[in-house]
Structure 1
């Protein structure tokens, strides 16, 4: 498609729209009493394409440092890790799940033109935590346990805390997709409970064994419609007592496995993550049910993408309600904002239209920086028991020579792999 002219490409897209679904369309799930708009933000979408641009990027100070080692002696590093999740500490995190896949496809990262490890670059500019997703048995190897252990060692070598995001699926899990791992697809519900417990305990045990324990464990990803469908599904026709009981039993099994496996059971934090970050009614109904059924967790994780979830004020209103109602820590588990509406590769980006932007936050490097800065201020302003913080999603997901990226224009690195000035927002 790179050989097509812009005009020809535009005509092709208009014609094909009648025959092919928009992969960025958000299915609407109708639980009893409210609607949930479901972002399929792990898919690529049709964009309003503009000409490729380079980022206007003021040079940043970067220390000359070697590649981080897999592990360093504990006495030689400042360990953020568990300490960063203590009550009152503010978490500044980034999802680094795609790192080795990007590098394997030729992606490189730079600061002021010098090649460097992107996680080290982010740490130098204020990041103190990383988030890593774990899939059960993925086809292509990405996000498997072996890769997770390697990323945990990298984070540990840099003194960064680790949030382990367990999807309980072989692929993406979100409000529109919560497919059981193939290995669990035909087991009884009692066996599913056992598998949830044993698997969670096993993977955290593997991290403990190599001395890289997670500070935070996410039991599922964006789970307001449940996990391990259809047993733990709770939206639409599944919104009944039977399925809510099943969901809470599954969550309790995972939480038990996480707490029992850890060498630091009193320090490990359990996060429950949902995407309905600006929907107060949906948030209340979900967490009320979990609390009433005795689900034991420490942190409420929220996804916030303005083009799907709306204004920062709506987010603030819901965070304040959740913090006061449940007395839990509040963390933005996923967020991002574009620094351009342009593109480098032929993969459709998850955001690419001017109408998807927040007022006052243009799709520029400065606009991206302002968004991150204001979001941090907003979360810090919430009165919440426990930890608070944000995790930036897609920050390292640049377009590589042999692999496109639907997040290339929301990354914290430009189309050449150079870190953007907007990363300074994490230091302000």
Structure 2
């Protein structure tokens, strides 16, 4: 997820539905009109939710309610909505004490106890890593590329092995988060089209994962769903350097990454060009333009004629799933659906009490913890 200020983000809106979704008729599901899925559409097997902030919310006493208004375990609520996979980010040594190794172990155990699969999202940072910043962990700040290769291997292997030893082996891992131009800057940044250092780091992460668990799938994740040219530039670059990966991961937010038609084309090309499954590792949509706290929302922009409302959020998410499915992707993950506004669960891990929540209008639970009754994850 990008965490730069809203004013600096690209806001590319599209009001045209993906060509693959356009049909003469529409279906109505749960009272929501949606473009009819293609007859030959595949199946989404990774029906995901990134719930990285959830443990903090629960520790602060947030209560979550299902569509009937009954208090319930939020993971169970999401599972009942169709979720079968959770995504958990891991930071090296965050000041907040959350999203570190110990907390990830705790959250993975909770998810696996409900029969959910687990993806681990390695940021290789003490804080947010995204296309605009990839800060090295403080403990690695002075390390050169050779040392960083060892760091990536050891940290990846350590977290994966700890999960394995408690009976919650990760089903998949991301080696880096939205690494459009590299990770662990500046050593791992792609400069002048030189992917050498980045590829060394990605190989270290891949090898560590497979040494821990050969069956765990490795995802290489960028926010390049906006541009087929950018997608090709990145994945061609790492492929030419001999990097191995199992799944291509893309972030897609319609207000920043363009039309559903464009998303369809990028997925089709990525799947065909690299011969690997594609997953939308992040997406979300607002249910309101209002703000629950003093922290400005990341965005309130809307797309495709869908309002910022419960119905609009559910409709847009359904259309994103339909587009991904029809293009041949294997999954879609909603980013931070449980991150409701509550004091003490702020945006900045270095100031978790002093900052608010920029995502309170993008969650699928409202400010009182009630779930969007219309939203559903569909295979």
TM range (shorter): 0.7 to 0.9
| 2:93 aligned partner | 137
Q: Which residue of 2 aligns with 1:251?
A: 202
1:251 Cα deviation (Å)? Answer: 0.5
Matched position secondary structure for 2:239: helix
Which runs of at least 4 in structure 1 moved beyond 6 Å after TM superposition? none
Of 396-405 and 225-234, deviating more is 396-405
Which deviates more, 338-347 or 157-166?
338-347
1:331 corresponds to:
279
Do the aligned partners of 2:121 and 2:175 also contact (CA within 8 Å) in 1? yes
Q: How does 1:13-412 map to 2 (within 5 A)?
A: 23-26=5-8, 90-111=45-66, 112-234=68-190, 238-241=191-194, 244-262=195-213, 265=214, 267-352=215-300, 356-383=301-328, 388-403=330-345, 404-412=356-364
In structure 2, list runs of 5 or more residues that go unmatched: 13-29, 31-41, 346-355
Q: CA RMSD in A?
A: 1.9
User: In the alignment, is the contact (CA less than 8 A) between 1:98 and 1:396 conserved in 2?
Assistant: yes
Matched residue pairs, number?
337
The answer to whether the Cα contact below 8 Å between 2:94 and 2:100 also exists between their aligned partners in 1 is yes
Question: Equivalents in 1 of 2:309, 2:47: separation in Å?
Answer: 21
Against the structure 1 CA distance between its residues 221 and 292, is the aligned structure 2 distance closer, same or farther, given a 3 Å change threshold? Answer: same
Q: From the CA coordinates, give the structure whose radius of gyration is larger.
A: 1
Separation in 2 of the partners of 1:295 and 1:208? 25
Shift of the 221–392 alpha-carbon distance from structure 1 to 2, 3 Å rule, reads same
Say whether residues 1:414 and 2:366 are aligned partners. yes
Secondary structure, aligned partner of 2:96? coil
What stretches of structure 1 of length at least 5 have no aligned partner?
A: 1-21, 28-36, 40-57, 59-86
Partner SS, residue 248 of structure 1: helix
The 8 Å contact of residues 106 and 401 in structure 1, kept in 2 or not, is answered as no
**CA separation in 2, counterparts of 1:333 and 1:114?**
30
Deviation at 1:188?
2.8
Structure-2-length-normalised TM-score:
0.85
- Measured after TM superposition, the shift of residue 100 of structure 1 is 1.5
Per-residue CA deviation, residues 108-134 of structure 1 (Å, 9 max, x unaligned), is 211233221111110012100000000
For 2:255 and 2:228, locate their aligned partners in 1 and report how far apart those are by CA, in whole Å: 18
CA drift at 1:324: 1.1
Question: How many Å apart are 1:312 and its aligned residue?
Answer: 1.0
In structure 2, C-alpha distance between the alignment counterparts of 1:240 and 1:392, rounded to whole Å? 31
Aligned counterparts of 1:88 and 1:197: Cα–Cα separation in 2: 34
Given that residues 251 and 281 in structure 2 are in contact (C-alpha distance below 8 angstroms), is that contact kept between their aligned partners in structure 1?
yes
